[in-house]
Structure 1
Amino acid sequence: MVLELVGGAFLGAVFNVLLERIASPEVLSFLKGKKMNNRLLKKLKLILLSVHGVLDDAEGKQITNPAVKEWLDELKDAAYEADDLLDEIYTRSKYGAAEVCNFDFNSWSSFENEVEEKMEEIIEKLEFIAKQKDFLGLTGDIGVKIPQKTPTTSIVEGSNVYGRDDDKEYPSINFDAFQKASGLHTFLQLSLVDPPICLFNKVPKDLFMKLRRLRVLSLVGARGSLNELLHFIAKLRHLRYLDVSQTQIKKLPGSICTLYNLQTLKAARCPHLTELPRNMHCLVNLRYLDISFSRLERMPLHMSKLKSLQKLSNFFVSKESASSIGELGELSHLRGSLMIQNIKNVVDPKDAMKASLKDKRNLDKLTFDWGRSADTENSQHEKNILEKLQPNTNLEALEIVHYTGTQFPTWLGDPSFFHLVSLSLNHCKYCHILPSLGQLPYLKELHISKFKELVSIGPEFYGVSGCTGNQHFPSLEILTFYGMPAWEKWIHAGESEGCKVFPCLRELHLEECPQLSGDLPTFLPSLTNLTMRYCNQISTSLPRAPAMRSLHVDNCWKVEILEELMGCRESLESLEIYNSCHSLKSFPLDFFPYLKSLVIWGCENLESLTTSAPQTEGTLELLASLNSLCIWRCHNFVNFPHAGLPTPNLASLKVRYCSKLSSLPKQMHTLLPSLKELQVWSCPEIKSLPNGGLPINLKSFKIRDCDNLFARRLDWNMSCLASLEHFSVEGKCEDVESFPEEGLLPSTLTQLEIQGLSNLKTLDMKGLQNLTSLKKIQILDCCKLESLGEGGTLPLSAVDLDIWKCPLLKEQWQRENKPNISGNHGIWICDQYIEVDEQHDLWCSQNLYTAIQHKYFMICTT
């Protein structure tokens, strides 16, 4: 599927390529060698220069002036004809007749005879077009600079790739139009619909062979085999951009290596790709190679010959050719990000030095990966290799993975890396000491994980010998320690000498550090987010953090939450406690007056929520900030505040698995005017709602395994809830044989869920009659349900009925050969779609695509 070229910006890039080709030694020498008239090139150059200057003006005017649009279309056609001709001259001259004839050029002699004639035709066409610009009133700067170096590419990287005007979009497969598009420059495999239509699989492969002018071929996500197409791809001699990403391709065929003009090759996220062509080094114009997220384990030899390569996503070091890492040294134009994988296979540190990473000023992100199975008997050898891989100080992001040394080289942490903003050290299983990183002046993110041997972090981490400006980690904003099973102590250097530590730190994450019991940093003035997970030995003081807004504590049993957070009482907005703080028995809600979200999960000794201010039912001090409250698996929890929850802006209340709780908050109907969501799960001791019932603005009410409470549903007065849209009930509820009762639910309901009612036999149609807004009904795991009831039909608004694990209902419907519903409804029973005809009430099997034209229902038993 292709996109239409939209104007001057891209056409200007084509002009730049043309002008560069005209000035290239290859084209000049070809014409000189064949004794052709050099004046034609000069004439072509002058015409292009004269037209180039008005492209911007034309691009703006084409929107309102059809004549200018038509002029641009003609110009594009002529420019592409010139590009085709010069491209062919350039390729023949650079690579020779013997090689180019292999990929099906016209015969050498006939081509020589036609060049001058073709060029005169193109110039004549361009001259005529150029004269029209004055009549159209197009103006602009007629000057243009000819590129002094090979331009990056006229192909737009990424998703915005355009083609010439006679390219067509294919919302449906129109092969007649495809057959006529011999001048097609761009073919894109796109997924614009759901489910996606794979255009590539619909197009006869021989059609591709006729598209000899293709510059861009993108087959992203194409299903099926690409081998047949790629085997003949050498015939697309003008191809500059090829993308086979997200396909099932296993290897790239050698024929690709004859595409001498190819500048971009993408084969990313190909989970079966294991091999690159042996002659990859022949793609001397290749500038962009993306082979990320593949199964490759080695690079072809002689990759150093790809002198034009600017973007290389991954480089794999293999056992068979371990010295290949040195070939990176010849790729002097690399930029952006590079991942070097399987460094464990590097035998000699001198080979690592040959990679010359220190000289690559334009690489801004590097990943060094020793490999998942990496191991070593000589840690000094690994350190020497990493020493020789020292990058340029322009580096912005560095990740080191599966490193098998015990220590890091001195360059890591050197203050000369003043551009470094992100550093990750992951799965360094033998390292017992961290590098000195505290003096990296602009480091903002530091992630350290899976150091199995590290026991203590001390002064070496900060670099105490050079406390620049009396600060350690002066710019660090995010610090993560994860998966450190042996880490016991964190010793903080410099604080006693007056040095500031982590002055800009915003986020601190301590996760899965089960032995850590030493002090945390004492003062973090900028900290807003603290996360501690599975650090069950931490019992010391939390940092003083007056700006902290979010605290997440998970499986940290010994933390004393209230005592430790005095300093951030008025800044904390989100507090989540999971299976932690086991000494906490009572939580005073007004301790954090600006708290917006509170989650308490598995706090085994928590008994109550309280407010410290005196309360009576007539006078309550409002907690206006709290928006969301969840109490979950607190089995000793028995009380909300005596007079109710004074939280006028509370929108969500979830009470789950609190086996001893006997009542919901009092005065819900008045104290919780903003409550939109209420969930009450597995609270068997709750027998009734508080006086006054439910809040009037409630939109969603879900009740699960609260049989005592559900037994009094007729007292809830739910029909008065003018905003209720979603009601869900789950549990045995053994006394319920028919549901819902007439008048129980409000007419505003749009979704009804019924699950696990062990004795439910009938869905009461009368109870559904007034639900004029109901759209979806779900009935799950009601093993005795056998009838949809009598005396009515489903509401006409209902468009979705899902019934799962209700075997008796399925048997009854199969026996009677029709369901007890009327109207124009479609039904799913297992994997068969059935439509109920409104006039004849007959069952008839339909195709899946028919279903989208009808209301439909689903009935399943698995």
Structure 2
Amino acid sequence: MGKKGKKCQTLKYRNTTANCGIRNTKVAFQKLASPQILDFFRVRKLDQKLLFKLETKLHSIHSLADDAERKQFTDPHVRSWLLKVKNAVLDAEDLLDDIQMLSKRELDDETESQAFTGCTCKYVGGDIYFRWEVGQKEKIQKETRHFSVELDSDQNFDGFETPCNTERLRTFMRTANNVKKMPMGLGKLKNLIVLMESFNVGHGKEFGIQQLGELNLDGSLSIGELQNIENSVDASEAYLKNKTLLVKLKLQWRRNWDSIDSKKEEEVIKNLQPSENLKELAILEYGGKQFPNWLHSLPYLVSLELNGCKSCERLPPLGLLPFLEDLSIDGLDGIVSIDADFYGSNSSSFKSLQRLVFSHMRQWKKWECKGVFPRLQYLTITSCPKLKGELPKQLIPLKTLYIRDCQQLEASAPRALDLMLYDCGKLHLDWATIKILTMEASFLEIVWSNTIEYLCIFWKSISDDCVSLRIFPLDFFPTLKRLELIGFPNLQMISVDHIHNHLERMRIIKCPKFESLPANMHMLLPSLNDLNIEQCPKLEPFIEGALPSNLKIITLNNCSRLLVDSLKGAFKDIASIERLFIEKVDVECFSDEGVFPLSLTELYIRDCPNLEKLDYEVSRLSSLQSLTLNKCPNLQYLPKQGLPKSISYLYISSCPLLKQRCQKERGEDWEKISHIQRLYILE
């Protein structure tokens, strides 16, 4: 065949494809005018305006399609629009077919009802939508247009083997965790849209990636086992560039990293170029040394993940992607430096990027931060132990900055509202914008800040003689709402001289030298409602009247100097405490009046090895709803007066003596607890 003949054949094919949508609109018009459709609307008294509106819409599509048919060869966007129009018209035709079928069935039902009494109910649309599972005896019907098949990973669906009119199929959905083989002939059905979650490349043409070539794929697809592609040309026969409805794609290899043909990998991924309509892309364990040029030429890409591509030595100019919002780069061990090439253009690079993640970049040493990220909100850098260079300087503060395991960083941290910093060297902070700071520190320079609302610091000692904070100056943070200090070996006290109306929660944990809470807390911390002190053995007893009157939750854990007797005066005149958690307290019984506030709704007692009984002090808590007793091996008696009638939840665990007395109907204390709705008594 000569060039002229080939050209004519190509044009004929293009015209045939483009005219599908137009032909279907004409079919839809004919159906709209059919007596069955009109009778159905009349009998059912449906809205005639709806029918007229549908007809008007289809006429509009017909006019636009006529014009688009002439322009499709010069504008690829018009061709893409034509394909969408075609699908919309097919959906309209399906709707009309459904109405026509319903009309016919209702007519049949009326005929049957004249001969038989009773109600006849039929499932409308059951023939149009068909789901096939392994072992199913029901056969696909001629009217089926939407077909789904569900298989296990080791099963194949080779064909329909039924009288299905495959030419009328609209969608074919295959769900199986590793699809390796597709039914023959699907690619010849031009009206068919194929949806499948994943496809694993096998060996040989029968199981190769070429099977995807003629399929009109829709939605998202994960292609795995790409290392099985024997010839890079085979990858081009998947024709991913033509899959205009495919908007989410994952390309994944599985390999032995000791033997990689980088050149072959680069040719394979070059031939796997997707459609320009792609919005989400993930490339996993690719073995080439560089990424393909098409990667930074996807105009509508929103999300990109590069994961485990250990051989790659440089990043492409991803800053050129105009709509990229989410970029994750993980496990690219070949990257030593990120330079200006990453941005592509200093003037307009990464103009849409909102989230940027670098993780497990074990050889990365330098980041040349010449580009500006005008819309960046979330920046994460984790497990980059050799990174030393500068970090981006943000004009607008980030919402969240998360840095972990970057021990050699000594740069200034980007401005951020929420900072989470763990094992990140001597990173310098800009306290002026921080609202939330969570950090693990072995070095800390506290600076006055009127923006921080939440401060949580885990102290990490790098040596036994490490000098850490002795006095924490609460007045440095006048807007603080929540304070957590954990693991400070030398912390002795918290100082405060001014009223803090904002502080609501305070936690002091694992501070072996911590001795005292701020004096006059009832006046200086009027908003404090949650106090948590754990593993502070030198904490002195509370002074009567020292606690804030708005306290609702108190947790006391392993504070050996804090005698139970001191609680009596501390809780006096406080009517707001609702929840009390006591752990590792050396006490035999709670008998003194006033130890527990009458306002308690929840009481939690754990790990008190010497506790023997609960006395009258517990039975008088008329508001108590929940009681937990855990790891109290010598506890064997509940109050003689019984538990409060208000209790609806009782949990007893690792209290063997008490468990025996609380056995259902046989235990001596069963009558004291039988009224409780939620009752849990465990070993």
TM category, shorter: 0.7 to 0.9
1:554-633 equivalences under 5 Å are 554-556=422-424, 558-560=425-427, 564-566=428-430, 569-578=431-440, 580=441, 582-584=442-444, 587-588=446-447, 591-604=448-461, 605-608=467-470, 610-611=472-473, 623-633=477-487
Contact 1:322 1:347 in 2 (8 A): no
Three-state SS of the structure 2 residue aligned to 1:412 is: helix
Is 1:252 equivalent to 2:134 in the alignment?
yes
1:317 to 201, 209, 227: 201
Q: Distance in 2 between matches of 1:214 and 1:795?
A: 60
Shift, 1:382, TM fit:
1.0
Give the structure 2 partner of residue 444 of structure 1.
Answer: 325
Partner of residue 643, structure 2? 794
Residue of structure 1 equivalent to 2:67: none
Alignment-derived partner of residue 279 in structure 1:
159
1:183 aligns with 2:121: yes
Amino acid of the residue matched to residue 252 of structure 1?
Answer: V
Q: How many aligned positions are there?
A: 602
2:90 matches 1:151: yes
How much is the aligned-residue C-alpha RMSD, in angstroms? 3.6
Which of 380, 384, 393 is 1:509 aligned to?
Answer: 380
Aligned-residue offset at 1:823 = 6.3
* Aligned counterpart for 1:664 among listed residues 493, 514, 517: 517
Counterpart-to-counterpart distance in 2, 1:322 and 1:673: 75
Against the structure 1 CA distance between its residues 440 and 313, is the aligned structure 2 distance closer, same or farther, given a 3 Å change threshold? same
After TM superposition, the structure 1 stretch with the greater mean CA deviation from structure 2, 514-523 or 681-690, is 514-523
Q: Give 1:707's match in structure 2, choosing from 540, 560, 571.
A: 560
Alpha-carbon distance in structure 2 between the residues aligned to 1:21 and 1:181: 38
Instruction: Give CA deviations for 1:371-395 in whole Å, capped at 9, x if unaligned.
Output: 3767753111111111011112222
Equivalent of residue 858 in structure 1, options 657, 660, 680: 680
In structure 2, relative to structure 1, the CA distance for the partners of 1:646 and 1:306 (3 Å cut) is farther
Aligned counterpart in structure 1 of residue 589 of structure 2, from 716, 729, 738: 738
Find the counterpart in structure 1 of residue 655 from structure 2: 806
Provide the C-alpha distance between the structure 1 equivalents of 2:518 and 2:660, rounded to a whole number of angstroms: 45
Per the normalisation by structure 2, the TM-score is 0.79
Q: Contact 1:299–1:318 (CA<8 Å) still a contact in 2?
A: no
Q: Secondary structure of the equivalent of 2:494?
A: coil
Q: Which residue number corresponds to residue 846 of structure 1?
A: none
**1:726–1:752 contact (8 Å) kept in structure 2:** yes
| Stretch of structure 1 that moved more, 310-319 or 482-491 | 310-319
CA distance in structure 1 between the partners assigned to 2:330 and 2:377 by the alignment: 19
- Work out the CA distance in 2 between the residues paired with 1:527 and 1:48: 58
Aligned twin of 1:485? 362
Aligned match for 2:634, one of 775, 784, 797: 784
Q: Which amino acid aligns with 2:429?
A: L
1:458 pairs with one of 339, 357, 365: 339
Q: For 1:729 and 1:427, how far apart are their aligned partners in 2? A: 48
Query: Equivalent pairs: percent with the same residue?
Result: 29
Q: For residues 198-237 of structure 1, what are the alpha-carbon distances to aligned partners after superposition, in whole Å with 9 as ceiling and x for unaligned?
A: xxxxxxxxxxxxxxx672xxxxxxxxxxxxxxxxxxxxxx
Give how far 1:336 is off: 2.5
Aligned to 2:295, the other structure's residue is in SS state coil
Residue aligned with 1:471, SS: coil
Q: What is the match of residue 35 of structure 2?
A: 46
Answer yes or no: is the 8 Å Cα contact 2:397–2:433 preserved in 1: no
| 5+ residue gaps, structure 2 | 1-23, 63-85, 96-101, 106-117, 462-466
Tell me which amino acid in the other structure corresponds to 2:353.
Answer: L
In structure 2, C-alpha distance between the alignment counterparts of 1:660 and 1:539, rounded to whole Å: 31
Distance 1:739 1:408 in 2: 70
TM superposition score normalised by structure 1: 0.64
How far apart, in 2, do the equivalents of 1:254 and 1:702 lie?
A: 59
Q: Deviations over 1:465-519 (max 9, x none)?
A: xx27x23322222111011122222234xx3xxxx42232222110111121222
Looking at structure 2, the residues matched to 697 and 821 of structure 1 have their Cα atoms a distance apart, in angstroms, of: 37
Counterpart selection for 1:770 from 620, 626, 645:
620
What secondary structure does 1:330 align onto? coil
The letter for the 2-side match of 1:397 is E
Change (3 A) 1:593 1:661: same
Structure 2 equivalent of residue 729 of structure 1: 582
How has the CA–CA distance of structure 1 residues 511 and 46 changed in structure 2, closer, same or farther, with 3 Å as cutoff? Answer: same
The corresponding residue for 2:314 is: 433
Paired with 1:824 and 1:642, the residues of 2 have a C-alpha distance of 46
Distance, in Å, in 2 between the alignment partners of 1:433 and 1:439 is 16
Q: How big is the shift at 1:351?
A: 1.9
CA shift, 1:460, in A, is 2.7
For 2:494, the aligned partner's letter is: F
C-alpha displacement at 1:575, in angstroms? Answer: 0.7
Q: Contact 1:290 / 1:313 at 8 angstroms: preserved in 2?
A: yes
Specify whether residues 357 and 824 from structure 1 end up closer, same or farther in structure 2 by C-alpha distance, changes over 3 A only. same
CA contact (8 A) 1:794 1:821 kept: no
Q: Equivalent residue for 1:140?
A: 49
SS in 2 for 1:708: coil
> Match of 1:151, as an amino acid?
L
Q: Which residue of 186, 192, 211 maps to 1:327?
A: 211
